[in-house]
A and B are shown apart, each in its own frame.
Chain A
Amino acid sequence: MSGIIRTQGAQVGFNDLKLPGMWSRKIGKDLYEIFIGPQHPGSGHMRIVIRVDGDVIVEADPDMGYVHRTMEKLSEVRTWIKGIPLFERMAIHDACNVTLPYVRAVEKLMDIEAPERAKYLRVLLCEINRIAAFLYGFGIFGVFLGHSTMYMWPFGDREVWVELAEWLTGARLTHSYPVFGGVRRDVPAGFTDSLRKAIRYMRKRLEDYRKIFVDNPVIRARLEDVGVIPKNLAIELGITGPNLRASGVKYDVRLNHPYEVYDQLDFEIPVFQEGDAYARVWQRVEEIKQSLNILEQVADWLDKHPRTPILHDKFWKTAPPLYKKIFEETGRAKLGAVYAIMKVPAGKAYERAETARGEISYYVESNGGNKPYRIRIHSASARNALVYKYIVPGHRVMDLPAIYGSIDYFPPEADR
């Protein structure tokens, strides 16, 4: 929310260019300042202040913070368990991925580990979330490029994964599924059959996407050689996720710092060398395919193994007999009162995970109390925001929506 500083007192003659719905003003010979957002459909809940010479951008200043909720501060006045529903507000459709490193960091401090079945269930929801988040990103990207079919299709197909997540956790978004020591629910009867059906359906649909969107000559003309991030610059800026891998860097937290059961699953990390907006689209298509492979393996594992406890003994042993009976009948683990009063041993832990948009990292410090002393979150979108400042200048204004969409920037996650 900083761009406003420079423009205070400049309200007079503020609409030199008379652009509908956008502020703009002349700041020099052939040099105009245009405020794109925060209500503009091409920006989301953020604003990019650009300076243009003709229609070539010479300077861009990303102006974030419109959906900032001070999560780091709020977490300091809440008990440990309340951090989970708080942090998943960062990316509600990617809730499992976003909260998992927090849960794992606290587990690290307590020296406990989730049972194997819970680990597979976490991976299951993580990948369902990842696919849903990619499809969401595709839909928004379609809007940016004026491709209304690519808006309708992924949003419709995303419903398949959201419904699966609802069936598994009871909530369409904000699942609060991983908890300290395990997960809340086991898979319902018949879940893996529907999951396999969804995987088959999605593979077919990816082919449809390719025909109508990815291989579309108009889309290729808009995206190829636009927003190129060279490999060395991608590393220097510390950008992350599919954007980094589309620039030729083979880095994925699931590979470099394996968590849960990712080291036991067979999947590849796709890498593209071009680093342009078009490569980033392909990158996401390939990553969906890999997620589908992972889900297939998880479904096989779940079919082969009978139901076992999904919470660590430290928490499950305090559960009253009624809770255990409910779990045996329905697969739902009701959380015991121990979560409300739990204290975490003093210490520091650092944990990260690969979300749909890239790496998220949590620094968690405890002083032995019932609340965190300090939690620092740095999310994928916050790291990718540097792209606007360093990559956008030199492009035409027309390219800005293409770059913005291809980065898959998500303001609530960036603002935290």
Chain B
Amino acid sequence: MIARQPADLRAALSQTIVGQQGVVEALLLALLADGHVLLEGPPGLAKTLACRCLAAALDGAFKRIQFTPDLLPSDIVGTRIFDQHEAAFATVLGPIFANVVLADEINRAPAKVQSALLEAMQERQVTIGPETHALPDPFVVMATMNPLDTEGTYALPVAQMDRFLMKVNVGYPSPEQELHILERFAVEDAQPLRDVASLDDVRAWRAQARAVHVDDKLKRYVVALVTATRDASGVAIERSDGPSLPAAGFIEYGASPRATLGLTHLARARALLDGRDFALPDDVRAVAAHVLRHRIGFNYRLATEGLAPDRIIEAIVAAVPAP
């Protein structure tokens, strides 16, 4: 079965992954926008399954790297070993040479290992000894973080977080969805659908996504959204148990211009996924939280007030009128 449209791939993934439609859509958007995804959520929420299913559906190579404190950069990118028969060094490529790479619990490895991965994500190539190797195309990294168990972890630096196109919060399924999961997968594991689309399809879709029209009004809206994260004066956080709070009091620094680009790329990808060749304000709004939540620095007041970062982002998005 060859998918003609990205929506076909979404439908195929939804058959296997129950209760995580947001994650499925986010993975597809990242694939279409040629970006990488950071998934944050408790264990057991089908993060790994979603990545595995995506790779299987694309007939692409899938590699999973479990990040641990003793991991070395060479465990990811590869290394050179001495071949005694040939009396020469040979290069062994690491698990990063795959179309879909799952970096599980990325914050468990020290900074130098994180850097090795993130540099590869940015440059799309790896240098091992004297040789430079291009990574496969498409190349998507899906990294996970567990927010519950933070002991012995290394927080990702801000500059490295910025390299993820989107950060997706993976939540628990609803009771109905969980019942569906129980009925379908209690006896046998989920079997990913294979070869729904080809890697050539993905490359063609990416070209289509890049050609999606973004109107000037929408570009101004994207810029207004991102600049509002830097100057949130006038944005209020409504609370049911007290007076509203100024959002600016919770923000240490706003999103970078990379967020502006990311919002536009993802809005284009969402329009394509929806079968349109022009983007809408709804496309921008739908991806805004994914793009902004890991690019805004929040101060200690957020925790003391018991607010989630997404509350601030929601207030900012609501305060900027859509065109």
Binding between chains A and B: no
Residues on A lying within 8 angstroms of B by beta carbon are none
Residues on B lying within 8 angstroms of A by beta carbon are none
